[in-house]
Homo-oligomer: A and B are copies of this chain.
Amino acid sequence: MSSTVVMKFGGTSVADAGRLKGAAARIVAKREAGHRVVAVLSARGKETDRLIADAQEVSPHPDPREMDMLLSTGERVSCALCAMAINDLGHRAISLTGSQAGIVTDTSHTKARILDVRADRIMSALDDDSIVLVAGFQGVSTAKDVTTLGRGGSDTTAVALAAAVGADVCEIYTDVAGVFSADPRIVPDARKLAVVSFDEMLEMSASGAGVLQLRSVEYARNHGVRIHCRSSFEDAPGTVIVSEEETVEHPLITAVTHSTGEARVTLLGVPDTPGIAGRVTTALADANVNIDMIIQNEPVSEGARADMSFTVPRDDVTAAQIALDPIASEHGISVVADPAMGKVSIVGAGMKSHPGVAAKVFRTLGEQEINIEMISTSSIRISCVVQGDRVPDAVRALHSAFELAGPDTIRPEQPFGEFA
C-alpha cells in the first residue's frame, strides 16, 4: 500500500481563488507522486473574523454552542471550493466536515478537545482512490453537536488525522518557509532550521513562535506524528519536527523566541496571611486569565507586607484588575499594571548538558543595558521579561551571542505574516 500524507493549508494559503487553486495543484502533485492524500483546510483569509463580527452584531455574548455552529462553516467553504478545483484537475476529491471525518470531541464548545478519531469514512474514500479534504478546526461532540477546537485548531485536526490514518508525515503549509532561529523580521540573518525536536518546538510555540500551534505539537509528540512545516508558496523543504532521538545533532541553543503582548500586574502590600496567593490565582483562573510568570518578594520582617508580580497577556489586564478588585479592597492591596512588557526566550535541547547558558544570557542582555524584570526557566528554555520596547534589541543580541545565524538564511522576498 502506498504511503499516506496529511497536508494542512492555513487561511492565507486559501485566501483567494488563485491561492486556493495553488493549494489544489500542490495536493494533486502529491497524489500524482503516488501518495494517498488527506488535506485539512482552514477558513479563508479573514472569513472567521467576518463571522465573529456578524455574531457580535447580533449578540454581545454569543452562545458558545451557536458560535461553533457559526464558525465551523468557514472551513467547510474552503474544503468545498478546493474539492471543486481538484475535480477540475482530473482527480476525484471529496470534502468532509469534521463530523463526517469522524473527529469526536468533548462538549467544551469553542475549545473542544479531541477524544477520538473514527477515520473509517476517510479510509474508505482513500481506498476508493479519492483525495479527501477535511474541514479543520472542528468536530462533533459526544452530544452530537458541532464543536470547534479553538485558535489554531486546524493544526491539531491535521496532526490527529495523521495519527489516525497512520500517515508518514503531516505537512503544515503556511506563509513562512519553516521554523527559524528567530523572527526574520527582527533578525534578518535568522536561519531556517532543518530539524527541531518536539520538546524544543513545544517550548518555542509556548514562548512566542507562532508558526505551529502548541496543542498540535503536543498531540504530535504524544502520538509520534512527524510534522513538516513548510511554505505554501515555494518548493524548498521547511522544518521537520521529530522526536529527540531522531535529531542527529543537538546544538546548544536552537532558537530565540519572543513575544511583545505581555503585561505585568503587581500587587503592592500583600499581607503575610496564609492563602492570599491561592486566592489571587484562583480569582484570575475563574476570570479565564492565564498567568505566565509569577514572583513574590518575601517580606523583610515578620508581619511586614510583600509584593507579588505576575505576567498576563496584555489583552487580559482589565479582566485581571476586575478579578482582583475584591481581594485588593479587602486587604488594602494596591494593584499596579504595566502593559508594555515583552518576553525573550532561548530554547535548545543542548542546554540541559551545558551549564553557564543562563549566565551568558544575563551577561548579553546586561551588555545591552536591557533590564531583566522577571525570569523563568525549564530544562531547555530560559525566558526573561523585559520592557516591551527593548525586545528587538534583546532578540538580536541573543541571536548573535549564541551564533545562531547560518547559511540557510531566509530570502528577502519571503513573507512573514504568520510568524510571531
Residues of A within 8 A of B (CB): 17, 20-21, 51, 54-55, 57-63, 65-67, 69-70, 72-73, 76-77, 79-85, 87-88, 93-95, 97, 100, 121, 144, 146
Q: Which residues of B contact A72 (CB under 8 A)?
A: 76
**26 A-B residue pairs with CB within 8 Å:** A17-B57, A20-B58, A54-B77, A55-B80, A55-B81, A55-B84, A58-B84, A59-B81, A60-B88, A63-B84, A63-B87, A65-B83, A66-B80, A66-B81, A66-B83, A66-B93, A66-B94, A66-B95, A67-B80, A67-B84, A69-B79, A69-B80, A69-B97, A70-B76, A73-B73, A121-B144
**Within the assembled complex, what's the spacing in Å between the Cα atoms of A303 and B83?**
55
Interface contact B59-A87, CB-CB below 8 Å: yes
**Within the assembled complex, what's the spacing in Å between the Cα atoms of A100 and B69?**
12
Q: Which residues of B contact A60 (CB under 8 A)?
A: 88
Interface contact A83-B63, CB-CB below 8 Å: yes
Nearest CB on B from A140, distance (A): 10
Give the residue of B20, B21, B80, B121 whose beta carbon is less than 8 angstroms from that of A70.
B80
**Contacts A94-B65, A100-B144, A144-B100: A58 and B70 contacting too (C-beta < 8 A)?**
no
Interface contact A77-B73, CB-CB below 8 Å: yes
Interface contact B70-A77, CB-CB below 8 Å: yes
Nearest CB on B from A252, distance (A): 48
Q: Which residues of B contact A69 (CB under 8 A)?
A: 76, 79-80, 83, 95, 97
Give the residue of B62, B83, B87 whose beta carbon is less than 8 angstroms from that of A84.
B62
Report how many copies the assembly holds: 2
Interface contact B65-A21, CB-CB below 8 Å: no
Q: Is the interface of A mostly helix, strand, loop or mixed?
A: helix
Q: Which residues of B contact A95 (CB under 8 A)?
A: 66, 69
Which chain B residue shows the least CB distance to A70?
A: B80
Nearest CB on B from A21, distance (A): 7
Closest 9 CB pairs of A and B: A73-B73, A70-B80, A59-B84, A69-B80, A17-B57, A66-B83, A66-B80, A62-B84, A63-B87
**Within the assembled complex, what's the spacing in Å between the Cα atoms of A160 and B62?**
30
**Within the assembled complex, what's the spacing in Å between the Cα atoms of A87 and B67?**
12
Give the residue of B58, B77, B97 whose beta carbon is less than 8 angstroms from that of A81.
B58
Q: Which residues of B contact A55 (CB under 8 A)?
A: 80-81, 84
Most buried by B among A54, A67, A93: A54
Which chain B residue shows the least CB distance to A84?
A: B59
Most buried by B among A51, A55, A58, A77: A58
Nearest CB on B from A259, distance (A): 32
**Within the assembled complex, what's the spacing in Å between the Cα atoms of A62 and B81?**
8
Q: Which residues of B contact A51 (CB under 8 A)?
A: 77
**Contacts A58-B17, A100-B144: A70 and B81 contacting too (C-beta < 8 A)?**
yes
Nearest CB on B from A166, distance (A): 23
Nearest CB on B from A330, distance (A): 34
Q: Which residues of B contact A146 (CB under 8 A)?
A: 97
Nearest CB on B from A404, distance (A): 42
Q: Which residues of B contact A77 (CB under 8 A)?
A: 51, 54, 70, 73
**Within the assembled complex, what's the spacing in Å between the Cα atoms of A83 and B67?**
10
**Within the assembled complex, what's the spacing in Å between the Cα atoms of A65 and B80?**
8
Give the residue of B17, B59, B82, B84 whose beta carbon is less than 8 angstroms from that of A88.
B59
**Within the assembled complex, what's the spacing in Å between the Cα atoms of A59 and B88?**
7
**Within the assembled complex, what's the spacing in Å between the Cα atoms of A94 and B84?**
31
Q: Which residues of B contact A66 (CB under 8 A)?
A: 80-81, 83-84, 87, 93-95
